[in-house]
Amino acid sequence: MSYNEIIARIQQREQEQSLIISMSEILASVSTRKEFHDVIINNLKNAFGFNHFSICIEDEKSKDFYLQYHILPSEYSKLSSAAFKDSSGIFNEVLSSAEPVFMTKTEFAKITGLPSFLKDTYEGQTQSIIALSIITKRYKAVAFIGFGKNSTPERNTFRVFKSLSPQLGITLTNILLLENIIPSNSVIEEDAQNVSEIPGDLGIIGNSEPMQKVRSLIKLVSNTDSGVLILGESGTGKELVAKAIHENSERSKKHLIKVNCAAIPKNLLESELFGHEKGSFTGAIAQKKGKFEQAHKGTLFLDEVGEMPLELQVKLLRALQEKEIQRIGSNGHINVDARIIAATNRDLQEEVKKGNFRADLFYRLNVFPIEVPALRERTDDIPDLAKFFVQRYALKNKKALKNIAVKALNTIKVYHWPGNVRELEHAMERAFLLAPDKTIKEIQISTSKQIETGSDIKPWYEFEKEYILTILKFTKGKISGPNGAAALLDLPPTTLNSKMERLGIKKRHYLTK
């Protein structure tokens, strides 16, 4: 093998790992069937180009298999209650295989006794199928992924799907648990009638003067097509504002497509935004539509836009000006009609002065700025937010609701909240878990008295380090997964690991022998 071939193979594996990490992080945030379907259509299908995706789960008692997902919602609705016997033996063959099972259309058609939804697969446009055992402690599940003539799976497709199998299992288990458990608790059901996922005017909690101003701006700009730049510190709820603008606009019937410019590796961000053609670079195993195309006639939310590299800012500016994009590896142009909402926690004017952000792009994005206030600037909203987080946590986890003592509320009202609403949310979840009875009497947070008196002012990174260490100790060192530190901090595990490395956080700092 030549040197160039070795380098190409290494680059391909790096692309695979980036794709696996990216897809796993997206799947980890899913908790409903609709969200799962959106990820299959907008992320997995775009990455691999399949035309069929279905999942079946085995019933432990009857040993029958039940359809739990189908890429066509109408098919799932029609067959969701049907029981399928494994008379063909295909389900058990896949479950007993350590590797994904590959079959051509001809081979698949020869199997007798296939369920109707799988017969439709090989009778249609599908030319080959990957059958995959989904790893989960609670269920035995099999996924079928079908590919057409123009999207034949390559060897790295098998590796990627095999690596995604554990996260698919976790996501599927979470969806089923939420569906089965939440309706069974009558106490939660009764209270849930008064608790929507995001209550309040425009889905925003708080009636303080700063938040009333934000609401007024949202109402003013929603029914226009103007670009919006949402400003504010991390954790203030900028994404919630973007969602409110989209849902109250004429584009609400179409998708709100979100891109976190800081969470996606720089070498993949261009492909994520504009898409690519099959074979345009190592690891481009199928044609992929970018986020701009997915947001056609809808809204594209560019979160942390200040993190976008300069070379990509030029292409973004052109897309905004010309309303057309060009996929990587293509000479053609695609017209796109997407409303742009951007958000950043950086001072973009200062970044422009430093040469880190293009002035022309800043002026293009900054048509209608909305500044979301820090939590310390809207302390009147803290009690309502705290109660909402307690209610939501109780509803989500099948727990009885708990009251919050006045003393505890007073404690959190005087705290500085450097992590803003996100920090408050995690503090309330922790307090809920630690409260021994029906009332939350204590909420553990760092004291801010020293800061108020100015006697011991610390740089921000020290507060960040202390808070991350507190969470790591609480999770006993667990970083990834549903109850890991990354989930509690609302960060991708890769981002948390990078922060820990930057802040010098070692295992000995949070793990005790």
Confirm if 371 and 333 have CB atoms less than 8 A apart: no
Written as six digits, the tokens of 470 are 């507190």
pLDDT one-digit tens code per residue, 141-171: 999 998 887 777 777 788 888 888 888 888 8
User: Which pLDDT score, from 0 to 100, does residue 452 have?
Assistant: 46
Written as six digits, the tokens of 430 are 């922790």
pLDDT one-digit tens code per residue, 389-427: 998 888 877 778 888 988 888 878 878 898 899 999 999
pLDDT one-digit tens code per residue, 305-327: 999 999 999 999 999 999 999 99
User: Which pLDDT score, from 0 to 100, does residue 173 have?
Assistant: 82
> Whole-angstrom Cα distance, residue 162 to residue 148?
20
* Over residues 4-8, mean pLDDT: 69
Rounding to the nearest 10 degrees, give the CA dihedral for residues 382, 384, 388, 389. 10
With cut-offs at 50, 70 and 90, classify the pLDDT of residue 3: low
Q: What contacts 239, CB < 8 A, 6 or more positions away?
A: 258, 301, 303, 343
Confirm if 140 and 172 have CB atoms less than 8 A apart: no
pLDDT one-digit tens code per residue, 123-146: 777 888 999 998 766 678 999 998
Q: Structural domains in the chain?
A: 3-182 (3.30.450.40), 209-372 (3.40.50.300), 376-510 (1.10.8.60)
With cut-offs at 50, 70 and 90, classify the pLDDT of residue 37: very high
CB atoms within 10 A of CB 197: 10
Most confident region among 14-23, 39-48, 81-90, 307-316 by mean pLDDT: 307-316
User: Which pLDDT score, from 0 to 100, does residue 360 have?
Assistant: 94
The enclosing H or E element of 13 equals: helix 3-28
User: Which pLDDT score, from 0 to 100, does residue 180 have?
Assistant: 60
Q: What is the DSSP letter of 491?
A: -
Which is nearest to 172 in space by CA: 24, 19, 20, 27?
Answer: 27
Placement of tokens 């991390």 in the chain = 234
CA distances from 354 to 161, 313, 359, 443 (A): 43, 15, 11, 41
Confirm if 159 and 9 have CB atoms less than 8 A apart: no
